[in-house]
């Protein structure tokens, strides 16, 4: 399986001719939809979900379908059976990929800000995208897509999260708001300059890919 990093929180997973697009938001080049077989959306925030761009992609390809939580599905009215609602514990087949759903809520930003629905996707038992949450799946994870920076994220909590998931490897996502200095600081604390984790962390720049 090939992992391609797109802007901020978006990745594309490719296997043969199948392309699974996860969380293409406003910081993602719409080209991420090119050749898409299906789209997975973890939650409704704009950096993960851009309704107008998604509708454009769906209009361009009548065979394209979406899997997401009930809150996002409610924002995609008029698309009928092309939008599939999934939740924690579900196991579905999406464009030939086995997908397990984990998690229910977005991480807390502040007690005064209501938490919204958020689900994470484990694809082919290999790659886990948690969206905006620190969900620990109740099954092994080979590759963790780690949210590197967010209003809800404290680096110490990310270190504990990487330890808890105990994946074989991790790749940074959710890093579109960091400049080079910030990337160096946060990546360093999650790497050799930090207290240590069992999981090596790497970062792909948008457009880069790696074979898993």
Could you tell me if 111 and 135 are in contact, meaning their C-beta atoms sit under 8 angstroms apart? no
Tell me the average pLDDT across 115-124: 98
β-pair partners for 12: 4, 21
What superfamily does domain 2-205 belong to in CATH?
Ribonuclease Z/Hydroxyacylglutathione hydrolase-like (3.60.15.10)
pTM for the structure as a whole:
0.96
What distance lies between CA 178 and its chain's CA centroid?
17
- Share the mean pLDDT of the chain: 96
Give the model confidence (pLDDT) of 132-188 as tens digits.
Answer: 999 999 999 999 999 999 999 999 999 999 999 999 999 999 999 999 999 999 999
Give the model confidence (pLDDT) of 65-110 as tens digits.
Answer: 999 999 999 999 888 899 999 999 999 999 999 999 999 999 999 9
**Structural tokens at position 163:** 């330890």
How many CA atoms lie less than 13 Å away from 16 in the CB half-sphere? 3
Check residue 80 and give its pLDDT: 82
């Amino acid at each position: 399986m090939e992992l391609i990093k797109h802007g901020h929180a978006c990745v594309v997973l490719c296997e043969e001719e199948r392309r699974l697009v996860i969380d293409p938001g406003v910081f993602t080049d719409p080209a991420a939809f090119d050749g898409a077989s299906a789209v997975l959306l973890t939650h409704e925030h704009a950096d993960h979900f851009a309704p107008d761009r998604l509708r454009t992609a769906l209009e361009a390809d009548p065979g394209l379908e979406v899997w997401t939580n009930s809150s996002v599905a409610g924002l995609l009215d008029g698309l009928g059976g092309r939008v599939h609602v999934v939740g924690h514990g579900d196991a579905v087949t999406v464009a030939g990929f086995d997908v397990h759903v984990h998690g229910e809520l977005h991480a807390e930003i502040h007690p005064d800000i209501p938490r919204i629905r958020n689900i994470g996707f484990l694809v082919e038992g290999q790659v886990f995208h948690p969206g905006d949450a620190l969900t620990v799946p109740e099954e092994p994870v080979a590759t963790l897509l780690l949210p590197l920076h967010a209003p809800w994220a404290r680096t110490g909590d990310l270190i504990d999260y990487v330890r808890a998931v105990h994946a074989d490897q991790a790749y940074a996502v959710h890093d579109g708001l960091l400049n080079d200095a910030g990337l160096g600081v946060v990546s360093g604390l999650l790497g050799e300059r930090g207290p240590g984790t069992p999981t090596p962390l790497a970062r792909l720049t948008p457009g880069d890919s790696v074979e898993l």
